[in-house]
Amino acid sequence: MALIDDLRATRAEGESAHTRRVFLQAVGAGALALANVGTAVTAVRYLWPEVLFEPETRFRIDRPDDIAVGTLTVLPQQKVYVMHAASGFIAMSAVCTHLGCLTQYERENNRILCPCHGSQFAPDGSARQGPAPRPLPRLALSVERGLLVVDTSKVVAPETVLKV
């Protein structure tokens, strides 16, 4: 059987000389173009600011005279309770001190309950029972322009009461 010299062989009608080579060049050029586009997108995303909008830590509640003595005001959006005790106003976090669950106020039983692990708190935030190791943290509370203002970024001493 005789060997055929491919370089000198005649091509059939309409056959391209570099079909495989042209195809591989196109695939390589496409891969490089795709890599360049990915790099450009990554560079633009790196330069774009990533802003996290956090909720306000200070917010107004109501006038102190509008909250009756002995009532507990629940603010679920801010995760805060405001208690108007006989001694004054108390603001406390609604986040359980056990594992950070969101507590719920049960008006009929006059208690704050952690539905996940069973911790129970008194309306003033002191721990009654359950795995919670500490009372609910008290938050800074002040009166500005005749309205109660809670600052969730400031935790105050457990015995802090705002007298109005």
Determine, yes or no, domain membership for 89. yes
Average pLDDT, integer, range 104-126: 84
CB-CB contact of 123 with 110 (8 Å):
yes
The neighbouring-strand residues paired with 104 are 113
Q: pLDDT exceeding 90 applies to what percent of the chain? A: 16
Determine, yes or no, domain membership for 12. no
Residue numbers of the domain that contains 40:
18-53
Retrieve residue 140's tokens.
């800074």
What is the domain-level CATH number for residue 92?
Answer: 2.102.10.10
pLDDT tens readout for residues 1-17: 566 666 666 666 656 66
The neighbouring-strand residues paired with 90 are 83
42 plus 76 within the same structural domain = no
48 plus 75 within the same structural domain = no
Within 10 angstroms of residue 136's Cβ, the number of other Cβ atoms is 25
pTM for this prediction: 0.65
- Residue 12 is classified by DSSP as P
Provide Rg for the chain, Cα atoms. 35
